[in-house]
Amino acid sequence: MSKFLILRFSSIGDIVLTSPVIRCLKEQVPNAEIHFLTKKNYATVLKHHPQIDKLWSTDGTLDDVIDGLKAEKFDYIIDLHNNLRSIKIKRKLKVKVLLFES
Q: Is the pLDDT of residue 102 over 60?
A: no
CA 20 vs. chain centroid, Å, equals 14
**% pLDDT > 90, the chain:** 89
Domains by residue range for the chain, with CATH: 3-99 (3.40.50.2000)
pLDDT of residue 70: 97
Residue 97 burial (10 A CB sphere; 0-12, 13-18, 19+): middle
* Mean pLDDT over each residue of the chain, to the nearest integer: 94
CA distance 16 to 20: 9
CA 30 vs. chain centroid, Å, equals 17
pLDDT digits 0-9 by tens, 2-51: 999 999 999 999 999 999 999 999 999 989 999 999 999 999 999 999 99
